[in-house]
Amino acid sequence: MSKTYRIAVLPGDGTGPEVIREGLKVVQAAATRFGFKLDAHTYDFGGERYIRTGEVLPDSAVGELRKFDAIYLGAIGHPDVKPGILEKGILLRLRFELDQYINLRPVKLFPGVDCPLKAKGPAEIDYVVVRENTGGLYTGIGGISQKGTPNEVAIQSMVYNRFQVDRCLRYAFETARKRNRRKTLALCGKTNVLTHVFDLWERAFHEMGGRDYPDVKREYFHVDATCMWMVKNPEWFDVIVTENMFGDIITDLGAITQGGMGIAAGGNINPDPGGVSMFEPIGGSAPKYTGKNVINPLAAICAGAMMLDALGEAKAAKAIEDAVADVTAHKVKNLGAGKMGFTTSEVGDLVAVRVAG
Ligand code: IPM
Ligand code: MN
């Protein structure tokens, strides 16, 4: 009997449905070739549903999503909905409630892709960022008082406990070991200013590394310097681990060095036994390109590959990555929406045909 994976599909807003359609096409081609099945259930959470019903995420949704093997997400964010409502109510809520405490974001330049960094190619740009995904400023701890008066005060705190830091670091060290490249883990922080939070991160980093991962080299960079080196010497990096907000910011920088949002994928991962993880292109809903069949689906396709890898289908994941590399090397060089020289569905077909073998 072949294995069947139950996948919750959340196409979401804007161009989300278009890219997820191509992603599913490719993932399905991999399933056929490698002998497993996908049982996909689609949910309509997103801006349109919110505008229609006033409901962001029904109460039953989180419990239902918990029963799937993985979640495949398109994009969240709608031009007619105030920023924050959908992002917090769907994306961040799922990350928190499903305890997806890792956001894994590969920064990989595929062959043939136009890179904005001078004299850097696929050999120089190939690392992963492990972003802590459920703590820090994103917890929303804080508040406003005396709103609207000259004395107004707003506070939003960067909150971390040892448990959160340790579990994120452990995943990062394991990732460096598993990648088995330069076996180097770089902690990205701000120990010179955020002397409380990054004192904790730095101590935990060296304690765990020295004790459990003597084979993994440890490095430290301030977040501002990290940005500089990601541009100047990206080849220094193998695995970067960082807190939530810093990770959000540096992975947009990372994305542009790999050709932009058209190809940047990520996984919101709960690595614990029974944990449900969620995979997504990191680029957002791109409202102005919606429905035009011009958006680049490669990021969603790469997110699909990450999903299969997490499900234990490493060969299928690798086949998708290889197919994407072949397509960027020989067909789609400009990854920008409307500039690919192919439609969204044509790019999906190019990859799917190669995956099918
Ligand atoms: C991301 C996004 C989200 C984040 C937004 C949409 C809430 O920017 O996944 O990087 O800040 O985490
Ligand atoms: Mn972001």
CA-based diameter of the chain, in Å? Answer: 68
pLDDT at residue 204 is higher than 80:
yes
**Structural contact between residues 298 and 352, judged by C-beta atoms closer than 8 angstroms:** no
Domain edge (last residue) among 203, 227, 258: 258
- The encoded tokens of residue 95 equal 């990350």
> Ligand 1 — pocket residues by CB below 6 A?
87, 91-92, 248, 282
Q: What is the CATH number of the domain that holds 120?
A: 3.40.718.10
Cα angle vertex 248, ends 117, 224, to 5°? 60
* C-alpha 282 to ligand 2 mean position (Å): 7
* C-alpha 133 to ligand 1 mean position (Å): 10
Mutate to test the pocket of ligand 1, among 94, 104, 242, 248 (most ligand atoms within 8 A of CB): 248
Q: Which atom from ligand 1 is nearest to the alpha carbon of 76?
A: 6
Q: Which atom from ligand 1 is nearest to the alpha carbon of 284?
A: 6
The predicted model scores a pTM of: 0.97
Domain-embedded: residue 110:
no
If asked whether residues 288 and 225 sit together in one domain, one would say: no
Mutate to test the pocket of ligand 1, among 73, 78, 91, 134 (most ligand atoms within 8 A of CB): 91
**Structural contact between residues 3 and 325, judged by C-beta atoms closer than 8 angstroms:** no
If asked whether residues 58 and 28 sit together in one domain, one would say: yes
If asked whether residues 51 and 144 sit together in one domain, one would say: no
If asked whether residues 128 and 252 sit together in one domain, one would say: yes
Please report which confidence band the pLDDT of residue 23 belongs to, taking 50, 70 and 90 as the band edges: very high
The protein residue whose alpha carbon is closest to atom 6 in ligand 1 is: 87
Distance CA 297, CA 328 (A): 12
Domain-embedded: residue 10:
yes
If asked whether residues 176 and 306 sit together in one domain, one would say: no
| Exposure of 33 in the CB half-sphere (CA atoms within 13 A) | 20
Distance CA 311, CA 309 (A): 5
* C-alpha 248 to ligand 1 mean position (Å): 7
**What pLDDT does 292 receive?**
97
Tell me the chain's radius of gyration from C-alpha atoms: 20
Domain-embedded: residue 183:
yes
Average pLDDT of 176-180? 97
- Helix (H, G, I), strand (E, B), or coil: what is residue 103? strand
**What pLDDT does 2 receive?**
86
Distance CA 88, CA 85 (A): 6
If asked whether residues 4 and 94 sit together in one domain, one would say: yes
What's the domain range around 43?
Answer: 1-101+267-357
The protein residue whose alpha carbon is closest to atom 10 in ligand 1 is: 248
| DSSP code string of 158-169 | -B--HHHHHHHH
Domain-embedded: residue 109:
no
Mutate to test the pocket of ligand 1, among 13, 87, 100, 279 (most ligand atoms within 8 A of CB): 87
pLDDT at residue 1 is higher than 90:
no
* C-alpha 87 to ligand 1 mean position (Å): 7
**What pLDDT does 186 receive?**
99
Domain-embedded: residue 107:
no
If asked whether residues 92 and 47 sit together in one domain, one would say: yes
Residue 40: C-alpha distances to residues 4, 12, 26, 357 (Å): 10, 15, 14, 23
Domain-embedded: residue 108:
no
Distance CA 10, CA 67 (A): 15
If asked whether residues 128 and 242 sit together in one domain, one would say: yes
Distance CA 106, CA 254 (A): 9
* Percent of the chain with pLDDT strictly greater than 90: 98
Domain edge (last residue) among 202, 228, 258: 258
Tell me the per-residue pLDDT of 249-300, one tens digit each, with 9 for 90 and over: 999 999 999 999 999 999 999 999 999 999 999 989 999 999 999 999 999 9
The protein residue whose alpha carbon is closest to atom 12 in ligand 1 is: 248
If asked whether residues 243 and 275 sit together in one domain, one would say: no
DSSP annotation of 47: H
The protein residue whose alpha carbon is closest to atom 8 in ligand 1 is: 248
**Structural contact between residues 52 and 341, judged by C-beta atoms closer than 8 angstroms:** no
Alpha helical stretches, state H, the chain: 16-34, 47-53, 59-65, 85-86, 93-97, 162-179, 197-212, 223-232, 244-257, 298-310, 314-330, 344-356
Q: Which atom from ligand 1 is nearest to the alpha carbon of 77?
A: 6
If asked whether residues 136 and 247 sit together in one domain, one would say: yes
**Structural contact between residues 183 and 154, judged by C-beta atoms closer than 8 angstroms:** no
In the chain, how many domains are there? Answer: 2
Domain edge (last residue) among 226, 258, 290: 258
Tell me the per-residue pLDDT of 68-115, one tens digit each, with 9 for 90 and over: 999 999 999 999 999 999 999 999 999 999 999 999 999 999 999 999
pLDDT at residue 59 is higher than 90:
no
If asked whether residues 239 and 273 sit together in one domain, one would say: no
pLDDT at residue 18 is higher than 90:
yes
